[in-house]
Amino acid sequence: MVEMIQCVPNFSEGRRQEVIDALVAACRAPGVALLDHHADRDHNRLVVTFVGDRAAVRDAALRAARAAMELIDVESHQGSHPRMGALDVLPFVPVRGVTMADCVALAEEVGRVLGEMGLPVYLYEEAARTPERRSLADVRRGEYEGLRADVAEGRRLPDFGPPALGRAGATAVGARKPLVAFNVNLGTPDVKVAKAVANRVREARGGLRNVRAIGLALEGRPAVQVSMNLVDTEATPIYRALELVRVEAARYGAPVVGTEVVGLAPQAALVDSAAYYLQLEGFRADEQVLENRVTEALLVEVEGHEPAGADSGPLAPDATPRAGEVAAMGKLPLEQFLEVLASEAPAPGGGSAAAVAGGMAAALVAMVARLSQGKRFAEVAEEMVRVAQEADALRRRLETLAEADTEAFRQVMAAYRLPKETEAEKRTRRQAIARALERAGRIPLETARAALELLPLATAVGERGNGSSASDAAAAAHLLGAAVEGALLNVEINAASLKRMADVDAARSGEELAGAVVELRGRLNAMLPPLVAACEARVRGTG
């Protein structure tokens, strides 16, 4: 689906509101959605979470780093949380449409640029170049003062940047899975208790796997804190970490008086703990959590990102969009959708229509699969149940892509309407146009891929499904061909626009999109004709 990377910069500042505001503002770059920010006075730390595609996230991360280097002096920083730099940690997390390898490549790219800016950079977690730098705790050992002394003596030199730490310190840049920052407050003023409990809980001291923990004092409160990073809540859920903290703290007569999730947490991690403490039997979050079912029913993605892509080439630089020319697809009845599609408005257009065609094909495949179950079709019934489920999932995906395609055209128009009076404005405008055009190519590319994923399912119902529905399977096959080819033509027009731009990265993106078109069109030409022939043969009784 749509490419999305999460970035969670941690800044060594949680007290000066004007600096916090400036750092959060620096993260609000074009093309990213700011999801959350959390400042803690005791930790003296700010955690920001935003998402976007690779280019937008990279730009936002670099903007944030520049702001931190200007606004934070680590030498005068005091707080309970370990730190080694103004921008202390900069992780990239794959969310959708990207791999961990993509995030590693992004971490290396951003790390290199930060090094060129004069900031010492250490790659960690999945991006680490050596095993001893995989753990953030190992990288940050000794904090700013200890690391500065080691580097000055030629030890623990950074992966990028100068071999010396200045007022901005150093930054750990990495790629990792989603983690949960989970704090447990204990009812004792003795920080030694928190440190002892943290030692027994953390993985490095023989505690729970995937748990990083430290013990901290809480200023102005008769309590202390065990602050944890749970780096894999599927393997080590939140409730298990909490219960071990509770057991270990009980040895010192310290009760748990509160817990805290810092920043964002995956829904599944919270649901697992709720199910554990409620002792639920046979609970399924995908079916029994109200919001999940509402989201599915309304085909609305609630992950906080801006959809990306477009179904047409760019407007002329000075074109002025008309009111109402971008329609929300998900809630339009068929008649209204066709009326909007037939109007003079440039969107929705071919890209959205291609996705809708793919969605109709998926619906037909699911229908034939459901008509191919029961005793009459015992040999294929189990296969057809799976086909129907997978076709349903792809239908929802294509419906979402149809709406995202139209929304993305708005982003292309918005980019062309940016001011262009000064050189700086022209540069910003060119970059925004390039990003919008790239997204405009990637949405229909995902549409083509989703439609191609349907071809094996259509083959299953066309060759082994209910023969009385062979015409429906054949219609699905022809619709899939139209969906793939229609989407690829929209990729091509945006790829051509990118390749004509003077920007090297934009031209490279255009070449990448054009190469993907060739690959997917080849797969279509290899897979579709045999499917169409088989379906039409059954319709005519010759197969």
More confident residue, 527 or 306: 527
Would the pLDDT of 16 be above 50? yes
Same domain, 164 and 208: no
What distance in Å separates the CA atoms of residue 81 and residue 445, rounded to the nearest whole number?
Answer: 44
Average pLDDT (45-57) is 92
Say how many domains are in the chain: 3
What's the Cα-to-Cα distance from 211 to each of 49, 88, 233, rounded to whole Å? 21, 19, 9
**3-state SS string for 455-517:** HHHHHHHHHHCCHHHHHHHHHHHHHHHHHHHHHHHHHHHHHHHHHCCCCHHHHHHHHHHHHHH
What average pLDDT is seen over the chain? 85
Q: What is the CATH number of the domain that holds 463?
A: 1.20.120.680
Return the percentage of the chain with pLDDT > 90, whole number: 44
Backbone torsions φ then ψ of 229, nearest 5 degrees: -110, 120
Q: Is residue 298 part of a domain?
A: no
> What is the pLDDT averaged over residues 26-48?
89
Query: For the residues 377-384, what does the mean pLDDT come to?
Result: 87
pLDDT score at 300: 34
* Residue 76 shares a structural domain with residue 206: no
Residue 251 lies in a domain: yes
Query: Residue 403 falls within a domain, yes or no?
Result: yes
Task: Flag whether 300 is in a domain.
Answer: no
User: 3-class DSSP state for residue 77?
Assistant: coil
pTM of the entire structure? Answer: 0.51
Q: 370 pLDDT exceeds 60?
A: yes
CA nearest to 383, candidates 264, 298, 465: 465
Query: Mean pLDDT over residues 68-94, rounded?
Result: 94
pLDDT at position 294: 61
pLDDT tens digit string along 469-527?
889 988 998 999 999 999 999 888 888 888 888 777 778 888 888 888 898 898 888 88
The CATH number of whichever domain residue 254 belongs to comes to 3.30.70.670
CATH number at residue 33: 3.30.990.10
Where among 175, 199, 229 does a domain terminate? 175
- The one-letter amino acid at 75: E
Assess whether pLDDT exceeds 80 at residue 324.
Answer: no
Split at pLDDT 50, 70, 90, the class of 432 is confident
Same domain, 320 and 456: yes
Q: Is residue 288 part of a domain?
A: no
Question: Which pLDDT band, with edges at 50, 70 and 90, does 120 fall under?
Answer: very high
Evaluate if residue 467 carries a pLDDT over 90.
Answer: no
In our burial notation (b when 16+ CB lie closer than 10 A, e otherwise), range 447-470 reads bbbbbbbbbebbbbbbbbbbeebb
Q: Check whether residue 20 and residue 45 sit in a common domain.
A: yes
User: Which has more pLDDT, 534 or 106?
Assistant: 106
Question: Which is higher by pLDDT, 241 or 542?
Answer: 241
Q: Same domain, yes or no, for 90 and 198?
A: no
* Residues 242 and 349 reside in one and the same domain: no
Is residue 396 domain-resident? yes
Structural domain boundaries, residue 114: 4-175
Active site residue 59: no
What pLDDT band is residue 440 in, cutting at 50, 70 and 90? confident
For residues 113 and 195, the answer to whether their CB atoms sit within 8 Å is no
Q: Both 389 and 422 in a single domain?
A: yes
Cis peptide before 348 (omega within 30 of 0): yes
For the ranges 22-31, 191-200, 309-318, 449-458, the maximum mean pLDDT occurs at 191-200
Active site residue 81: yes
Q: How far is CA 89 from CA 48, 94, 255, 462, in A?
A: 11, 16, 32, 53
For residue 503, the one-letter residue type is D
Residues 40 and 113 in one domain: yes
Q: Average the pLDDT over 39-59 and give the result.
A: 92
Last residue of one domain, picked from the residues 213, 246, 270: 270
Q: Which residues of 304-337 are buried (b: 16+ CB within 10 A; e: fewer)?
A: ebbbbbbbbbbbeeeeebeeebbbebeebeeeeb
Give domain status of residue 285, yes or no: no
Alpha helices in 279-333 (DSSP H): 285-288, 290-298
Q: Find the catalytic residue in 81, 190, 478, 503.
A: 81
- Cα separation, 308 vs 265, whole angstroms: 24
Residue 466 lies in a domain: yes
The domain boundary, picked from 146, 175, 204, lies at 175
Whether residue 105 has pLDDT greater than 50: yes
pLDDT score at 302: 31
The SS3 assignment for 285 reads: helix
Of the residues 42, 59, 405, 472, only one is catalytic, namely 405
